[in-house]
Structure 1
Amino acid sequence: MNLISMDPISMDSSSIEPISFFSILLTGVATLAVTFAKDKGRTFVKNALEQIYQYSLNLIDTKIKNQKIKVFLKTTLLYYKQKPKKEVSTQNTSQATTQGDVLGFAGQNTGTLNITNTIYQTESESKTQSLTLIKASPYLGLNKFDEKDSAKFFGRDNWISKLTEHLEENNVLLLLGASGSGKSSLIRAGVIPKLRNNWRSLTNITVVPDENPFESLYISLTSHQYRQSESKIAKEVEEDTLVKVVKSLKQDEPWLIFIDQFEELFTRTQKSECDKFVASLVRLIQEQDSTVKIVITMRADFLDRFSTYPDLGNLHDQHSKMLTKMNHSELKSAITEPAHRNGVSFEEGLVQLITDDFNKQAGSLPLLQYTLNLLWENDNIEDRVLNTKTYEELGGVTGALNQQANKIYEELDEQEQKAAKQIFLTLVNHVDGKSTNRRAKKSIFEDGAVKENAVEKLIDKRLLVSQGEEGAATVEIAHEALLRSWTQLENWINENSQTIAICNRLNDDVEEWKKTNKDAEDLWSGSKLDQVLELRKNDTFNSVLGGFSKDANQFIDASVEWRDRQEREKEEQRQRELEQERKARQAANKANVITLIAAPMLTLLLFWAGMNWRAKQKAEISNLIESSKALLVSNQQFDTLISSLKSAKKLKKSRACHQIGINLV
């Protein structure tokens, strides 16, 4: 019976040595047995016949010396063991391949088998399955790769070399890329381990800006066993803080300061603090210390924020790299290598199916990791083969996360579902039409048993992640991929985008208010306060979104009290000013009345005084004249002259005063 054409392997009679009839027979029996067990789904039979299959492989290895025949027999066994629905060649089009019809043992045509490709894969599969089986999943789901995960990180070798070479020659690197392109993982699990290996020693200070980048720097330093007393300099919100930190703490060992998710400076950090941190970063870069490397990762869609910071614009022009999507070879490596290292292979055609689905999903690597992790957890790893059927049941790369998130949500009871919606919307930032992750203190969800239980369940199901010690723990959505791939969450965000933006701004200012010992200057007023007061009265907001937190309500109440107090003070000041104006008017009116009354009285008084004065002057002048006459008669001419002059002077003065009196009147 001709099982398969031997021509594709280009065998000739001289290359064929006598083959044990028993080997071929056992190969056929094992193939039929495995096929039967697979079709019937009888696990106990399948396990027993799996041993026959393995025994057949060992027998072929020991009895068959011709390598081509050996590979052919193994190919036949493996093909029927996996029974793919269709065969998809993963060879490049430039490679010459030859196809032959594959006939089942019952004689039916089961499809077309690419012999060249299958032989190559069979050798690879045999090598993989010869490794010790490691049952733990090598895929990280929505978690970011870290330095400890470098052995599981594949597909970015070229980029690791490129970025490492850049940092060997430069002190700064700005890595840009789309959300989900793997920027953080590339640095954490690729570049940092490579640099550490090259330099033999390295201190990595990783900072995620959050609400307070200086505080985040301090926490990172203390986590590297720098004492709190010497690290507290990092908390200073000053333009020279980073320079001072390096000069104070760095010893001979080189430093790599990795600022991850740089966009948080523009979405979470207060502008005044953002400005200081950017200035501090620029100051450190200008130091040009070759033993201090600075690596920054940022979503490319936030690059426009650099327009207000010329120094960041220069950084982009000189030291930026745009992370591109993986090519087919890189993607295949990222998919298959972690499984192969654990002794597990993929069903024929599945890798191509996964890559096709991945490319339809705009290349989100976290979705790929999540799907592969689900596939691993839901398939029978004892088989050492990840199957297409399981992959399709999970929804593939395009639907696995959405399907799984819906499943987790539906497993919650009605009250927990309501709480889950509130939790997710609290953990979303929505700025300028862009949705991003928002980190929050876990304690804000501890104001009720239902919400607290919901948070814990979502963390257990890995839709949320929590970090930090008890009392200071934070919680956030596992990855921004959820914001785009879970339809339910995407709808919630679209329906409540304006409310989310208001609440985010409120929560940020509440935290700032608490840091400044509840300084009245940080409270809200005007239209912002009016908006949250309207929201607080909104039944839908309170019932569906859970209203404001205890701290937020306290902040709002304090803002209302401060606003009312200021309005009272303004009103009191206005009343005081009005009273002063009234008194001034009254005083002016009194002066006018007095003037009106006093003017005619003064005129009369002056007229009367003038008349009396004139009469008196007239009498005095008459007396002087009479005296002059008497002196003249007595021949006292000199005295007469003097008396006459006095009379004339008085007369002149009298006329002048008379004229003044007339003018006054």
Structure 2
Amino acid sequence: MPGQWLLLWDSKDETGMAVELEPAAVKKGRPPRAYVQGPAGDHIDISVSLKQDGDYLKDAPSLKALDVSAQEGSRLAYRLLQDEAEDHYIRHEATARFCIDGDKLGGDTLDKVKNQISGRSADLLFALAVIMAAVRHDPDYPAVAATGELTPEGRLKGVGHVPAKIEAALAALPVGGLIVYPLVNDSEISPQLRQQVTGSGHRLAPIERLDEVVSQYLGIPIGKAWMGNPYRGFEKFDAQHGRIFFGREADALALEKKLLAREAEGRPGILILGASGSGKSSLTHAGLVPQLKRTQLQRPLLSSVWRPALLDEKEEAAVAVSIRNAWSLLPGLNGLTTVQPVENPPSLPRQSLSPLGQLADDFIGQLPDQARFVWVLDQLEELLTSGFAPATIDAFAKFLLKLQTNGIWIVGTFRSDFYLAYQQSPLIDVFGNGGTYDLRELDATALERIIREPARLAKLEFANDTETHENLALTLRDEVVQGGKGMLPLLEFTLSRLYEERDIATGKITFEAYRDIGGKIGGLKGAIGQHANQILATCTPKERDTLPEVLIRLIRLSDDGKQVLRQRANTTGLFVTADHETLIQKLINGRILQTEKNREGESVIELVHECLLSNWDAMQEAIGLYQTIIDQRRKFSYSATHWEVEGRPKQLLIKGKDEIIRSELLSVYMGKDVSNIECSFINESIKQSRRKNLFIVHDKVKTTGFQPVSFS
């Protein structure tokens, strides 16, 4: 059995520790890990001790925390294996004796292990140790180092000091080791540390659930169980969610067939067209990519995802750096972080290549032999709607063509309401008319699978209405069918909320919970607004007052001015009061906003899904304010320009307290788009009003510190 290492934190020296967990010898010749045939149930006997000078200590202070982790982790591991028992895993009583061999540790390290361990970060390692002992595997498992606290459902909670723990694992693990930690901590891992892990021959495994690491990284098939919420809400489906992704199986097969045909034509690219909320991204991440990994076994498959709007800088050089950094994290491609010469240099001198052209040569030269690479371009319409210059778009299209020519599979997702822009862009040369795939609406049978199949894996049951006796799953299905386009995100969100409100004892999802979640509007459309307003109800009046200022920064007009779209906002220096920050954090915690770090390490936020634009009353009010500001801005700009042209006469300044307040607030929202002339115009108006004792600076300008919105 390969080794297993606890990843711990040394609070005294502020460094990570990797401590090996070993089998402990026991009396009467019993093995340290035994799986004795017996009745099904929670028959678990797990213990952990500390070995020192040949004796096993059980009363060291740290052992209390480790014992709690051993019990909780083992219980969840046993339950997971029992859920799969009908097939092949476990119907046994379990006995396991673990120890930390203090004789192998230095005196100072031993003292820390004896006295400093606290918390539940050892849960995950104990769960994995029990599973790896219970289920034989050929070839053998990798050496594993792990940190993470498990919830009663088997999900991973975030823990502290993960980067330092990974560094400790690198010093302890043999080559080929697996380092497992919670997915919520993954953003803390720097590109440099990721490259160090890859270069050392190890793998990182950021996970959400215990069953995920067991199936995906240990190679133990898990097909009958799902630990935790089987519905994604507004969170994206990724490859690891393939087991709970239903309803689009036929589309995944059709896309695979079309990609293979396109490859035979020398143009292995396809663009998936569909309405907003139709499930394009989910189909690609959780349907198509896992399908390819299951069937295209003759060649190793690598995949990566890139989204245009995640870039704050829009020039070609920034695009190339973003893609290069993402690709360099893949196996065998860590050399992309520094430009390497290619074996067969292009005919043009290297210095004449554009940043994307140079990246294409570097990538093709370093792609591992025989590997098939699938590059997913998510929400590709953002390339045409997010401020990228025509020259950058043209260079990007040429970049895609070059990748296709060299056998790289390109899969894009694209909103169908921007199809005209696609036809008028260089992207049409990449995919052509024959390289598109229209994603159709789901029929009732597929919708029912989306509702029922994840529930089956999570051992849930939809209740019947006490009066009509209709099953709740059918009610939800019919509401989506009747609602038409854009209902899928609302369905997934409502299902996720229903899971949270389930009867834990019976696993039943009831009509009572469904009606409560829907609020006054009722049904799927009422659920998201009700949820958002419940979050606002926890805010103070001052926090709620900042909501319009926050929301209008998260929307913009499309280039043709006909649609309101969501956009990302950089929070650094923009929302500077405690009320802004508290409101934003509550919306993030409530899954109304999502946040991540940009390339500079700054926090950016955006609405978690576009359906909020039309299904939340506060958002509708913010859109109305946004459109009013745009109209007023035109009038304001005209007045300022007229004042400047006429020689800045006093009679053309803004008059009246109310008009000045409106103009002043308008300048607050306009932000960096306010010209010098406009600034002078409003400042001179304020000075004149003060001289006449008409005006006191508006509180919202004087005290909020809100940095205003800019318009595209």
Q: 1:217 and 2:323 equivalent? A: yes
The answer to whether structure 1 residue 360 and structure 2 residue 482 are counterparts is yes
Equivalent position of 2:434 in the other structure: 318
Deviations 1:181-232 (A, max 9, x none): 0000100011111112223422212110124343432342244363463369
Match among 362, 366, 369 for residue 249 of structure 1: 366
Q: Is the 8 A contact 1:138 1:342 kept in 2?
A: yes
Counterpart in the other structure of 2:84 = none
Distance 2:666 2:677 in 1: 25
Q: Structure 2 matches for 1:137-536, cutoff 5 A?
A: 137-170=229-262, 171-200=268-297, 201-210=300-309, 211=311, 212=314, 213-224=319-330, 226-227=334-335, 229-230=337-338, 240-241=357-358, 243-252=360-369, 253-284=371-402, 288-290=405-407, 292-309=408-425, 312=428, 315-348=431-464, 349-363=471-485, 364-395=487-518, 396-431=523-558, 432-468=561-597, 471-497=601-627, 499=629
Q: Percent identity?
A: 24
TM-score normalized by the length of structure 1: 0.54
Query: Which SS does the other structure have where 1:479 is aligned?
Result: coil
Shift of 1:547: 3.0
The 1:449–1:310 alpha-carbon spacing in structure 2 relative to 1, beyond 3 Å, is: closer
Deviation at 1:340, TM superposition (A): 0.9
Residues in 1 aligned to 2:591 and 2:664: alpha-carbon distance in whole angstroms: 27
Provide the rounded CA distance (Å) in 2 between the counterparts of 1:419 and 1:322: 41
- Give SS of 1:180's match: coil
Give the conservation status (yes or no) of the 8 Å contact 2:356–2:395: yes
Distance apart, 1:475 and its partner CA: 1.3
**Structure 1 residues 476, 245: CA separation in 2 closer, same or farther (over 3 Å shift)?**
farther
For 1:203, the aligned partner's letter is L
Give 1:516's aligned residue: none
Q: Judging by fraction of residues, say which structure has more strand.
A: 2
* Superposition deviation, residue 464 in structure 1: 0.4
Distance 1:500 1:461 in 2: 30
- Give distance in 1, aligned partners of 2:389 and 2:641: 20
Question: Per the alignment, do residues 430 and 305 of structure 1 end up closer, same or farther by CA in structure 2, a change over 3 Å counting?
Answer: same
In structure 1, what residue type is equivalent to 2:495?
L
Deviation at 1:558, TM superposition (A): 11
Whether the 8 Å CA contact 1:218–1:232 is kept in 2: the answer is: no
Report how far residue 446 of structure 1 moved. Answer: 4.3
For the 8 Å contact 1:445–1:452, the answer to whether it is kept is: no
Alignment of 1:600-615 (within 5 A): none
In structure 2, give the amino acid aligned to 1:194: Q
Cα distance in structure 2, aligned partners of 1:262 and 1:415: 38
8 Å contact from structure 1 (residues 306, 312) kept in 2? yes
Partners in 2 of 1:501 and 1:146 — Cα distance?
A: 41
Asked if 1 retains the 8 angstrom alpha-carbon contact of 2:400 and 2:430, the reply is no
Rounded Cα–Cα distance in structure 1 between residues aligned with 2:275 and 2:427: 23
Q: Report the alpha carbon displacement of residue 428 of structure 1 after superposing the two structures with TM.
A: 1.1
Relative to structure 1, the CA distance from residue 256 to residue 412 in structure 2 (aligned partners, 3 Å threshold; closer, same or farther) is same
Specify the SS of the correspondent of 1:261.
coil
Q: How many residues align?
A: 400
Q: 2: distance between equivalents of 1:231 and 1:459?
A: 38
| Residues 18-97 of structure 1 mapped to structure 2, 5 A cutoff | none
**Which residues of structure 2 form unaligned runs of 5+?**
1-222, 263-267, 342-349, 465-470, 634-639, 646-652, 681-712
**Per-residue deviation at 1:277?**
3.8
Displacement of 1:420 after TM fit? 2.2
Give the drift of 1:374: 0.7
Q: Retained in 2: the 8 A contact 1:237–1:276?
A: no
Distance 1:289 1:135 in 2: 41
Note the C-alpha offset of 1:141: 0.8
Deviation at 1:272, TM superposition (A): 3.3
Equivalent pair of 2:397/2:430 in contact (CA under 8 Å): no
Letter matched to residue 266 of structure 1: L
Contact 2:463 2:472 in 1 (8 A): yes
CA distance in 2, matches of 1:448, 1:548: 19
CA deviation string 1:622-658 (max 9, x = no partner) = xxxxxxxxxxxxxxxxxxxxxxxxxxxxxxxxxxxxx
Q: Secondary structure at the match of 1:175?
A: strand
TM-score normalised by length of structure 2: 0.51
Which stretches in structure 1 are left out of the alignment for 5+ residues?
A: 1-130, 504-524, 562-665
Larger Rg: 1
CA contact (8 A) 2:336 2:363 kept: no
State the Cα distance separating 1:319 from its structure 2 match. 0.7
SS at match of 1:493: helix
Residue 547 of structure 1 pairs with residue 669 of structure 2: yes
Structure 2 CA distance for partners of 1:181 and 1:424, relative to 1, 3 Å: same
Residue 450 to residue 219, structure 1, CA distance change in 2 (3 Å): farther
Contact 1:133 1:344 (C-alpha < 8 Å) held by counterparts: no
For 1:133 and 1:545, locate their aligned partners in 2 and report how far apart those are by CA, in whole Å: 56
1:159–1:239 CA distance, 2 compared to 1 (3 A): same
After TM superposition, give the deviation of residue 294 of structure 1 in Å.
0.3
Query: Structure 2: how far apart are the matches of 1:293 and 1:370?
Result: 32
For the structure 1 residues 316 and 428, does the alpha-carbon distance in structure 2 shift closer, same or farther, using more than 3 Å as the test?
farther
Task: Tell me the secondary structure at the aligned position of residue 380 of structure 2.
Answer: coil
Whole-angstrom CA distance in 1 between matches of 2:340 and 2:540: 46
Displacement of 1:133: 8.5
Cα shift at 1:401: 0.6
Cα deviation per residue 1:49-84 (whole Å; 9 max; x = unaligned)?
xxxxxxxxxxxxxxxxxxxxxxxxxxxxxxxxxxxx
| C-alpha deviation, 1:147, in angstroms | 1.1
Report the Cα distance in structure 2 between the residues aligned to 1:304 and 1:479, rounded to whole angstroms: 23
The 1-side partners of 2:588 and 2:631 are apart by: 24
Contact 1:160 1:191 in 2 (8 A): yes
Distance 1:149 1:501 in 2: 45
- Residue-by-residue CA offset, 1:349-373 (whole Å, 9 max, x unaligned): 2111101221233242111111001
Give 1 or 2: higher helix fraction: 1
Q: 1:483 deviation in Å?
A: 1.0
Mapped to 2, the partners of 1:541 and 1:320 lie a distance apart of 48
Q: 1:186 to 1:231 in 2, by over 3 A?
A: farther
Question: 1:347 Cα shift?
Answer: 1.2
CA 1:160–1:333: 2 relative to 1, 3 Å: same
SS state of the match for residue 381, structure 1? coil
Q: Tell me the distance in 2 between the aligned counterparts of 1:500 and 1:146.
A: 38
| Cα deviation digits, residues 146-174 of structure 1 (max 9, x gap) | 11211111111111111111112220110
